Each structure stands twice: as structure tokens, then as C-alpha cells.
Homo-oligomer: A and B are copies of this chain.
């Protein structure tokens, strides 16, 4: 691996493209390999074991690129799998989106000793308590209100407009109870949610900072690469972006520009089976039998 190796970005589908977009903006000369596990999405209602397995397979596949850094650009996968993935691949530099989001939330909370910080996220992310840990390690007395908001991803994937009454109603139902408890900061704890940042900011008003962890995540990646001496210098051309998906490359390409802000060429289709093919390539994971 060297400074010309790519950064790998992994997500269950499209949401991680908001992170890819921020990384492209912050580090325009880096090449990026993006992997969206569209055959097995979403991750947000699945167990830690299953999500860890899926992401471990994807990293095993992406090793062929000798990535200089791997970003788990999905809050659920970060919450459920990051620790395990670092143990499984000790030679790889791997980071997620939760720590950067927590850091940004604390900065936004300013000097308040007991700021009220809301987090909206998937079921799995909320249950993992990963945001509690990340925020409390920085500000012990912050008051956390974490709320699962499982309809927001399907609402975004359906392509509804911000002014759709159902979008407004869903946001109100989910976020109003948090506002009633004196919210200072609201963390968008899912990489899909920045798509709804506008109506969310409108709803919570100017007094509440809305944190989209993508930018903070890009800064975090830039800092890591700099520390490791792996930043690619200025080039004549910006770096490449190549995408892989496990299903429906055409749909991915069609919807990607909404997340990315620009078009991508049709991604390469890797069947989920092919991630299992070279078994010896995959790390061993414990699989206790249940049920």
C-alpha cells in the first residue's frame, strides 16, 4: 500500500455516497473504491453477527485494491461491526462514521455542560448504544435522546420530495418529542438522512444544530492519512471513483447523483455469492448455533 492506493468506502447501499461526496470534496486527488451491498440491504434491522459477516466479506473482497484506508460509511455497520472488523483485519486502517459524528455534536454543543443531544438512527444503531458511548466519552454529562426512525430510509429511497405531507408528518412524529425535551443538537445518525437535512432544519429551527457526520468523517480520514504520510499530493486530474454493488447497478447509477451531487458511471455487479467463493480468503468467525 502507498499514497496512490485508493480509499475504500463501504455501505449497505446508497447512503454512504454522502460520505463519498464529502471525501471527494475534501480529498479531490484520492481515488475511491465504493462498495454498496444492495443485494442484502438494509443493515439497520439486522443483527451484529449478520452485519459483521457481510462487511467482513466485503473487506476481504476489497483487499485486492490494497486500500490505504477503509471507511465504514454506514452508521449501523459502524455501530455493530467496527470493533470486530479492526480485530479481524489488524493490518488495515479502518474507521467509521459514529466517532466523527459524536465529535461534531460535542463541538456544536459549545460550552454547555449538560447539552441535550438527540440522535436519530436505525433500530440497530440505537440498540447498540454506540452514540451514547462515543458522546459520553467526550462529555460525561451530556443528555442523550436516541430515537429509531426506521421509515426515513424507505421514504428517501422512494424519492419523496421534502414538501410531501408524509415526509413532514414522519419527521414531526419522530423529532417533535425530542424537541419537547429541549434539544440543543440533533445528530443525523444514518448516512441517508442528510438528504432530508433541509426539512429537518426547518422543523427544529435555528436554535438546534443539525449534525451530518459526512463532513466530519472526511476530515477524520484526511487527518488519518496525513498522520500516516499517505496523502496523495496534488495531481493533474482528480482521483478515480469506482463503484461495486451486489445488485441492480442501473438503479444505483440512477439514484446515486442525488446522494453524490454528480453522476457516476454504472457500477460493477458483484454477486453476493462471489463474496463467499474464495472461502480461504475469508477470516474465520465464530458461529455459535442458536435457536
Q: CB-nearest residue of chain B relative to A289?
A: B269
Task: Check A290–B249 contact: CB distance below 8 A.
Answer: yes
* Residue A25 lies at the interface, judged by CB distance under 8 Å to chain B: no
| Distance of A259 from chain B, by nearest CB (Å) | 16
The 0/1 profile, CB within 8 Å of B marked 1, for residues 254-282 of chain A is: 00000000000011110111001000000
Task: Write out the residue numbers on chain B whose beta carbons fall within 8 Å of the beta carbon of A165.
Answer: 169
Q: CB-nearest residue of chain B relative to A268?
A: B291
A250 to B148: give the CA distance in the assembly, Å. Answer: 19
Task: Write out the residue numbers on chain B whose beta carbons fall within 8 Å of the beta carbon of A47.
Answer: 247-248
Q: What number of copies of this chain does the assembly contain? A: 2
| Distance of A172 from chain B, by nearest CB (Å) | 9
* Residue A170 lies at the interface, judged by CB distance under 8 Å to chain B: yes
* Residue A287 lies at the interface, judged by CB distance under 8 Å to chain B: yes
Whether A291 contacts B273 in the complex (CB less than 8 A), given A155-B151, A157-B150, A248-B46, comes out as: no
Residue with the highest number of chain B CB atoms closer than 10 Å, among A38, A46, A268 = A46
Question: From residue 157 to 174 of chain A, which have CB atoms closer than 8 A to chain B?
Answer: 157-158, 165-166, 169-170, 173
* Residue A114 lies at the interface, judged by CB distance under 8 Å to chain B: no
Q: CB-nearest residue of chain B relative to A150?
A: B158
Task: Write out the residue numbers on chain B whose beta carbons fall within 8 Å of the beta carbon of A247.
Answer: 46-47, 49-50
Task: Write out the residue numbers on chain B whose beta carbons fall within 8 Å of the beta carbon of A45.
Answer: 157
| Distance of A135 from chain B, by nearest CB (Å) | 25
Task: Check B248–A267 contact: CB distance below 8 A.
Answer: no
Task: Write out the residue numbers on chain B whose beta carbons fall within 8 Å of the beta carbon of A155.
Answer: 151
Q: CB-nearest residue of chain B relative to A165?
A: B169
| Distance of A177 from chain B, by nearest CB (Å) | 14
* Residue A40 lies at the interface, judged by CB distance under 8 Å to chain B: yes
Residues of A at the B interface (CB closer than 8 Å) are 38-40, 45-47, 49-50, 53, 150-151, 153-155, 157-158, 165-166, 169-170, 173, 245-249, 266-269, 271-273, 276, 287, 289-291
**Apart from A165-B169, A267-B291, what are 20 other A-B pairs with CB-CB below 8 Å?**
A39-B40, A39-B50, A46-B247, A49-B247, A50-B248, A50-B271, A50-B272, A53-B271, A53-B273, A150-B157, A150-B158, A151-B151, A166-B169, A166-B170, A169-B169, A245-B291, A249-B290, A266-B291, A269-B291, A271-B287
